[in-house]
Chains A and B, each alone.
Chain A
C-alpha cells in the first residue's frame, strides 16, 4: 500500500514539475483565460441595456438580472476549470496510435489511474497559479453576486458538484480518447463533443434560455453538469428537489462513463494485442 502511494506521489510530482518548467506559457495562459469574461460582461451589459425596464425592479432574462448573468458566467468559468480536460482524449488516441500505450501492458500501472493522477497534477499545478487570478477576478466582480455568499449547505453542494464535474469530464473524455482503438482519428468525434458541449453545457449562456424541446433534452444529457449545474446550484436557481435529482443523474452518468471507459480499455487492449499493435 505504501509502495503504491509512493508510486502515485512520484507520478504526481513529475507531472507537476513538467508543468512548471514552461513559465512563459503558463503565466500567459492563466492570465489570458480571464479576458473573455471582460467581453462577456460588456456584451451582456449591452444586451440588458436594450431591454425595456419592467415596472418593478431590474430587467430580467429568464429570471436572471444582469448581475446574475455575469456571476453565472464567472461560475461556469470556475466549473470549466474543473471539468475541461485539454489534450486528454487526443493524448490517449495519440498513445494508441504510436503504440506507447503498450507501456501500460508491461508496467504495473493502470492506464486510467495513471491518467487520472496526471490530470489531477495538471489541475493542481494550474490551480496553484490560477488561484491568484481567480480570486482577484472574483473579488473585483463581487458586486455581481448580488445575493452575497450562499449558505453553507449550498456551498457544500457546489463543491460536490465541482468534484463530480471534474470526474465526469475526465471519464467522458477518456472514453472519447479510448475510441482511438477502433477509429483511426478521434479528432472528429472530439469535435462533435466540443461542439455539443459549447452549446449544451451552458458555458455560453444559461441553459434556461433554451426554447422548448431543447431545454428538456438538455436535462437528460450529461453535458449540463460540466458548466451549468454547478453555477445554477451556487446561484440558487434550482429547488432542492431539482438539485437532488441533478446530483443523482450526474452520479449515474459518472458511473456509466467509468464502466464504459473500463470496458473500452479492456476490449481495446484485447483488440490491440490481437492485431499485434
Chain B
C-alpha cells in the first residue's frame, strides 16, 4: 500500500538577483530583476508503508525542497502529493499529528531551558496522553542514552546530544511517517553511529516509513535499501544501492597480479592506470572494453591472478554528482534553493 504518492510535483522560486556595484544597488531600489529557479521538477514517487528511503543528490538538487513539500511547509507550483491520504500543504491537524520532520541544521528546542520542558510543550501541542508521553519519552531517551541530560539547559549540551534531544522531541508523538533532513550533519563519528543504530532499531520495531536525506554514504548504506537520486530537481534514479553502480558506473576496476619476473610494461593502452606496484597493477577500464582488454593482457603477459570489481560506491556517486553539476548550465539551475553550495565531495565521509 502506497503511503506516499507524488505525481508531477514541481516547485519554482522567484529569486531576486542582487545587482553588483553601487549604481546598480541604487537602481535596485526602484527596479528589480528576478529569475525563476526550478527547485523540483515533475517528480513522481511512490513509497510503501515501512520503507526506509534515502534521497541522495548534490547540494541544491531539490532533496530538502521535496521534504518540505511533503511536510507541507511550502506550497508546490504544480503537481500533487498525498501522504497517508492527506494533501500535505493543506496542513490539516490530523496530518500534522502523524508525521515529523527533523532538520539537522535547525533546532526547535528552547535554548535556555532543559529539554524536558520543550518535551512537555510538545506533549501539549500534539495532545499526547500522559501515559503515552512518559512511555515514549522513557523509551527514546533510553535508546539514545540521554536520560541524565534531560534536566540540563539545551545550550549546555553538545551538538550530538542536542540532535538526540531534537529527535526525541520529534518522535514523542509516535509519528507514522518521518522525514529526516541531514540528521547527522556536523556530528562526530560516534554520535553518527549511535543515531544510525537508533534509526535502524526504531524503524525495525515500529515499521514506520522514513525518508532520509544525507550526505553521509554510511548513513545511507547502513539504513536504506532503496535510494532515490535527485539532481537538478529531477529523479535520476530510483532503486537499490547496488543498482546505482550498474546504472551509472561505466567502468570496472581490473587488478592483474603478474607472474614472477614478468614486467607489466605499458598498460595504458587498455585503460587508465589506477595503481602500479609490480607485480600488481590496477586499471580502470570502460565496461564494454573489459573482455577485449582482458583477452589482450592475458595473451601478452603471464598473469598469476586477475580480479574484476566494481568501483567503490562513493566514487561512483561523487562522479555522478560532478557530472550532473558539471554539465553546461541551464538557465534554471536548482541550486539557489537547497543548502549553501559547498564541495560535492562532501558525499564521501
Q: A interface vs B, CB < 8 Å?
A: 13, 16-17, 20-21, 23, 26-27, 128-129
A26 B22 Cβ-Cβ under 8 A: no
**Which of B4-12, B23-31, B195-203 interfaces with chain A?**
B23-31
The answer, among A13, A16, A23, A129, for a CB contact under 8 Å with B28, is: A23
B29 A13 Cβ-Cβ under 8 A: no
- Told that A20-B25, A23-B28, A27-B29 touch, could you supply 10 new A-B pairs with CB distance under 8 A? A13-B22, A16-B22, A17-B21, A17-B22, A20-B28, A20-B29, A21-B25, A23-B29, A23-B32, A128-B26
B22 A21 Cβ-Cβ under 8 A: no
Residues on the A chain within 8 Å of B21, using CB:
17
- Answer whether residue B296 sits at the interface, using C-beta atoms and an 8 A cutoff: no
Chain A residue with the shortest CB-CB distance to B25? A20
Chain B residue with the shortest CB-CB distance to A19? B25
Chain B residue with the shortest CB-CB distance to A12? B22
Chain B nearest CB, measured from A142 CB (Å): 28
Residues on the A chain within 8 Å of B29, using CB:
20, 23, 26-27, 129
Chain B nearest CB, measured from A12 CB (Å): 10
In order of increasing CB-CB distance, the 5 nearest A-B pairs are A20-B25, A17-B25, A23-B29, A13-B22, A17-B22
Q: B interface vs A, CB < 8 Å?
A: 18, 21-22, 25-26, 28-29, 32
B18 A21 Cβ-Cβ under 8 A: yes
Residues on the A chain within 8 Å of B26, using CB:
20, 128
Can you name 20 A-B pairs with beta carbons within 8 Å? A13-B22, A16-B22, A16-B25, A17-B21, A17-B22, A17-B25, A20-B25, A20-B26, A20-B28, A20-B29, A21-B18, A21-B25, A21-B28, A23-B28, A23-B29, A23-B32, A26-B29, A27-B29, A128-B26, A129-B29
Complex CA distance for A128 and B27, rounded to whole angstroms: 13
Residues on the B chain within 8 Å of A16, using CB:
22, 25
Complex CA distance for A26 and B25, rounded to whole angstroms: 12
Residues on the A chain within 8 Å of B18, using CB:
21
Residues on the B chain within 8 Å of A23, using CB:
28-29, 32
Complex CA distance for A20 and B29, rounded to whole angstroms: 7
Residues on the B chain within 8 Å of A21, using CB:
18, 25, 28
Chain B residue with the shortest CB-CB distance to A24? B29
Chain B residue with the shortest CB-CB distance to A23? B29
Chain B residue with the shortest CB-CB distance to A16? B22
Residues on the A chain within 8 Å of B22, using CB:
13, 16-17
Chain B residue with the shortest CB-CB distance to A129? B29
Chain B residue with the shortest CB-CB distance to A128? B26
Complex CA distance for A16 and B18, rounded to whole angstroms: 14
Complex CA distance for A23 and B32, rounded to whole angstroms: 10
Residues on the B chain within 8 Å of A20, using CB:
25-26, 28-29
Residues on the A chain within 8 Å of B28, using CB:
20-21, 23
Complex CA distance for A129 and B29, rounded to whole angstroms: 10
Complex CA distance for A177 and B22, rounded to whole angstroms: 30
Complex CA distance for A20 and B23, rounded to whole angstroms: 10
Chain A nearest CB, measured from B9 CB (Å): 31
Chain A residue with the shortest CB-CB distance to B21? A17
Complex CA distance for A16 and B21, rounded to whole angstroms: 10
Complex CA distance for A27 and B22, rounded to whole angstroms: 17
Complex CA distance for A128 and B30, rounded to whole angstroms: 14
Complex CA distance for A128 and B22, rounded to whole angstroms: 13
Complex CA distance for A26 and B28, rounded to whole angstroms: 12
Chain A nearest CB, measured from B89 CB (Å): 26
Residues on the B chain within 8 Å of A13, using CB:
22
Complex CA distance for A142 and B187, rounded to whole angstroms: 65
Chain A residue with the shortest CB-CB distance to B18? A21
Residues on the B chain within 8 Å of A17, using CB:
21-22, 25
Complex CA distance for A13 and B21, rounded to whole angstroms: 9
Complex CA distance for A17 and B28, rounded to whole angstroms: 10
Residues on the B chain within 8 Å of A128, using CB:
26
Chain A nearest CB, measured from B18 CB (Å): 6
Complex CA distance for A159 and B42, rounded to whole angstroms: 63
